[in-house]
Amino acid sequence: MGKGGQSCNGMVRQAKPVEQENMAAWLVDVNTIKILPFKLPSIGPNDVRIRIKAVGICGSDVHYLKTMKCADFEVKEPMVIGHECAGIVDKVGSEVKHLVPGDRVAVEPGISCARCQQCKGGRYNLCPDMKFFATPPVHGSLANQIVHPADLCFKLPENVSLEEGAMCEPLSVGVHACRRANVGPETTVLIIGAGPIGLVSVLAARAFGAPRIVIVDMDDKRLAMAKSLGADEAVKVSTKMEDLDDEVAEIKEAMISEVDVTFDCVGFNKTMSTGLNATRPGGKVCLVGMGHGVMTVPLTPAAAREVDVVGVFRYQNTWPLCLEFLRSGKIDVKPLITHRFGFTEKEVEEAFATSARGGNAIKVMFKL
């Protein structure tokens, strides 16, 4: 008999295709990631199974790899890494109506409880029981397949790629920051830090209509990238506190008008002090980066000028707007994707090493 069948009492029947084992990138120890089997939960009526096709590396992933910790979270047992992702729907639960197998989707990585006061008030990003990809003990999404609630999976417009879909996650931080600060066509914006979050904040602020954006960093290449993405002026600064007054004067000169809103995308003593001193009376300073857990900053003089300090934590209800920005061309995230790797153990190691080195690496992306 020919290939692809079995004979049984003269009958021919097709052999069932062997289902490939689901593999994932597991963080097993400091600086150690292994590709190992990852058993998925069964699909609930409101879930979908997704074949992951694009995953970006976030700074938090690198922190976990280097120290097994990030902020107050500690990896105490092996964990699947990754949370910036997009893929193709493979299977849908019985109650899922808006997605079908074959749909390309961007994935929001946090599952809130939907019952607590924060969730019911619409600020589900502050849910105390949030289950967020690759935040211990919750597994992440750098895997062949994942199972996820369908309402957290957003169909990609035809002209938006899977890689761009994965970029909705970091872009969401910038979008949420702009919403928190009420950025609009009359809002001048200072962005401190030209890392990935600072750069997506440039894109978001421009899309929200900010008429003038000034960005600050220590690295000339990052500042040049920020200008190419839409920043009007770039100011190079140092790490020295004694340079702060001169740098604030330079920032104000670069802005021409007053600084209405500052996004501190670093979160160090000096960066926050810079933001508080540079922002106009009655303005806002949004703390987006969380570099230092405890800071010493000139809060009293800022309070005397009624400068509001606004916290920014992750995001809420941002994926539809991000996808519309991408679909319309109002935001182009493609220049941020500087490196691409496949999904072998060696390539995963190389990708994380590339991301950790920084340099010209902005967003490192896995193509599965």
Segment 339-357, tens digit of pLDDT: 999 999 999 999 999 999 9
Residue 264 sits in the same domain as residue 352: no
- Cα dihedral sign, 135-139-144-150: negative
Give the pLDDT score at 1.
38
Give the pLDDT score at 15.
52
Any domain includes 261: yes
Residue 190 sits in the same domain as residue 234: yes
Give the phi and the psi of residue 304 in degrees, each rounded to 5: -65, -20
Q: Is the pLDDT reported for residue 72 higher than 90?
A: no
Residue 137 sits in the same domain as residue 179: no
- Give Cβ neighbours of residue 295 (< 8 Å, ≥ 6 apart): 267, 268, 269, 272
CA nearest neighbour of 276 among 245, 304, 307:
307
Any domain includes 66: yes
CATH number at residue 180: 3.40.50.720
342: containing domain:
23-155+333-367
Mean pLDDT score across all residues of the chain: 94
DSSP 3-state of 252: helix
| Contact yes or no for 192/261 (Cβ under 8 A) | no
Any domain includes 3: no
C-alpha–C-alpha distance, residues 133 and 80, integer Å? 8
CATH number at residue 95: 3.90.180.10
C-alpha–C-alpha distance, residues 289 and 217, integer Å? 14
Residue 304 sits in the same domain as residue 340: no
Residue 243 sits in the same domain as residue 279: yes
Residue 151 sits in the same domain as residue 178: no
The owner of tokens 């003089």 is 301
- Least confident range from 44-53, 307-316, 355-364: namely 355-364
Q: Which two tokens stand for residue 285?
A: 């300073």
Give the pLDDT score at 6.
44
Q: How many domains does the chain have?
A: 2
CA nearest neighbour of 333 among 157, 222, 197:
197
C-alpha–C-alpha distance, residues 352 and 360, integer Å? 14
C-alpha–C-alpha distance, residues 363 and 51, integer Å? 21
The confidence band for 322, taking pLDDT boundaries of 50, 70 and 90, is: very high
pLDDT digits (tens, 9 = 90+) for 19-67: 689 999 999 999 999 999 999 999 999 999 999 999 999 999 999 999 9
Any domain includes 98: yes
Helix axes 168-181, 196-207, angle to 10 degrees: 60
Give the pLDDT score at 5.
45
pLDDT digits (tens, 9 = 90+) for 151-182: 999 999 999 999 999 999 999 999 999 999 99
| Contact yes or no for 130/112 (Cβ under 8 A) | yes
pLDDT digits (tens, 9 = 90+) for 254-297: 999 999 999 999 999 999 999 999 999 999 999 999 888 889 99
Any domain includes 266: yes
Q: Where are the alpha helices (DSSP H) in the chain?
A: 59-67, 117-120, 162-166, 168-181, 196-207, 220-229, 244-255, 269-278, 299-304, 319-328, 345-357
Q: What is the pTM of this model?
A: 0.93
Q: How far is CA 68 from CA 57, 81, 128, in A?
A: 15, 11, 21
Give the pLDDT score at 12.
47
Q: Is the pLDDT reported for residue 150 higher than 60?
A: yes
Residue 305 sits in the same domain as residue 182: yes
Q: Is the pLDDT reported for residue 11 higher than 80?
A: no
Give the pLDDT score at 8.
42
pLDDT digits (tens, 9 = 90+) for 323-340: 999 999 999 999 999 999
Provide the CA 179 distance to its chain's centre, in angstroms.
16
| Contact yes or no for 251/257 (Cβ under 8 A) | no
C-alpha–C-alpha distance, residues 40 and 139, integer Å? 10
Any domain includes 355: yes
The confidence band for 95, taking pLDDT boundaries of 50, 70 and 90, is: very high
Which secondary-structure segment (H or E) carries 153? Answer: strand 153-155
Residue 44 sits in the same domain as residue 149: yes
Any domain includes 150: yes
Residue 276 sits in the same domain as residue 343: no
The confidence band for 223, taking pLDDT boundaries of 50, 70 and 90, is: very high
C-alpha–C-alpha distance, residues 62 and 81, integer Å? 10
Residue 290 sits in the same domain as residue 183: yes
Residue 150 sits in the same domain as residue 231: no
C-alpha–C-alpha distance, residues 280 and 261, integer Å? 8
Any domain includes 165: no
The confidence band for 3, taking pLDDT boundaries of 50, 70 and 90, is: very low
pLDDT > 90 fraction of the chain, expressed in percent and rounded: 91
Residue 38 sits in the same domain as residue 120: yes
